[in-house]
């Protein structure tokens, strides 16, 4: 089921009020991060094989969900902001932690741009140009998208159907709680997992989001919201 158009605005989109643009960036990145953690949850509860880094596989799941769930304009707005989120993290961190299980944020930026562009090259040519995707990489993106869809498509098909297997909990009201609560409701209309997965919005003492396989739970830390606002402000300077 396609999601309705959300309030989303990238740094290269038509001018909007600065506060609206910031909150759209936050909302888009909360969704992208949540889809990433949902990818980890699906790998766990479905027992999916992963060839390579699981973090890369979860990134792929996230952008495929954006591509599948939203009408074209909304999907592009989300993809702009999700990609800029990686760019903002790269600029904020500075030195690359090559030992980390996540790939370098600048590489995740280009992988996101390429995969999303590859899903609909004709409609997303301007997106690729705006994001300065090199032509020699752009040429391979449709094939990369098809490979990604071949990998994740069977898993999405396996859980297709309405269910109430994502169980939402929030410690308090917040933008994060509003965004994730609505998305859990939408996902429960589309997906039925083989077991319940808790989705909790709660303070963690740090700006983070993660999947806990021991608890079978996706944790969205409330601190991430302000971290994303800070990233937007730094990127917009």
Residue 187 within a domain:
yes
Distance, CA of 9 to CA of 192 (rounded, Å)? 31
Residue 2 within a domain:
no
Distance, CA of 59 to CA of 214 (rounded, Å)? 21
Residue 121 within a domain:
yes
Two structure tokens written together for 22:
């910031």
Containing domain of residue 86, as a range?
A: 18-236
Two structure tokens written together for 76:
């592009």
Residue 8 within a domain:
no
Residue 1 within a domain:
no
Residue 194 within a domain:
yes
**Count of domains for the chain:** 1
Residue 75 within a domain:
yes
The dihedrals phi and psi of 16, each to the nearest 5 degrees, come to: -135, 170
Distance, CA of 117 to CA of 126 (rounded, Å)? 9
pTM of the model: 0.89
Beta bridge partners of 202: 221
Residue 3 within a domain:
no
For the chain, state the CA radius of gyration: 17
Tens-binned pLDDT, residue by residue, of the chain (237 aa): 454 444 333 344 444 466 889 999 999 999 999 999 999 999 999 999 988 789 999 999 999 999 999 999 999 999 999 999 888 887 766 554 443 444 467 889 999 999 999 999 999 999 999 999 999 999 999 999 999 999 999 999 999 999 999 999 998 999 999 999 999 999 999 999 999 999 999 999 999 999 999 999 999 999 999 999 998 988 777
């Amino acid at each position: 089921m396609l999601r309705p158009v959300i309030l989303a605005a990238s740094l290269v989109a038509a001018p909007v009020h600065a506060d609206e643009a910031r909150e759209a960036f936050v909302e888009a990145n909360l969704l992208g991060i949540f889809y990433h953690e949902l990818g980890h949850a699906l790998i766990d509860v479905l027992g999916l094989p992963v060839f390579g880094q699981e973090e890369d596989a979860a990134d792929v799941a996230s952008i495929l969900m954006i591509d599948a769930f939203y009408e074209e304009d909304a999907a592009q707005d989300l993809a702009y902001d999700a990609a800029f989120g990686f760019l903002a993290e790269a600029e904020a961190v500075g030195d690359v932690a090559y030992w980390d299980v996540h790939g370098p944020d600048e590489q995740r930026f280009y992988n996101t741009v390429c995969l999303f562009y590859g899903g609909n090259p004709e409609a997303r040519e301007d997106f690729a140009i705006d994001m300065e995707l090199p032509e020699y990489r752009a040429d391979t993106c449709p094939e990369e998208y098809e490979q990604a869809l071949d990998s994740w498509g069977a898993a999405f098909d396996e859980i297709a159907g309405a269910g109430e297997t994502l169980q939402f909990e929030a410690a308090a009201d917040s933008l994060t709680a509003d965004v994730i609560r609505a998305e859990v409701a939408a996902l429960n209309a589309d997906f039925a997992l083989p077991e319940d997965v808790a989705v909790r919005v709660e303070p963690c003492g740090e700006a983070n989001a993660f999947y806990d396989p021991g608890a079978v739970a996706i944790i969205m830390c409330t601190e991430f919201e302000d971290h994303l606002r800070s990233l937007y402000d730094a990127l917009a300077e």
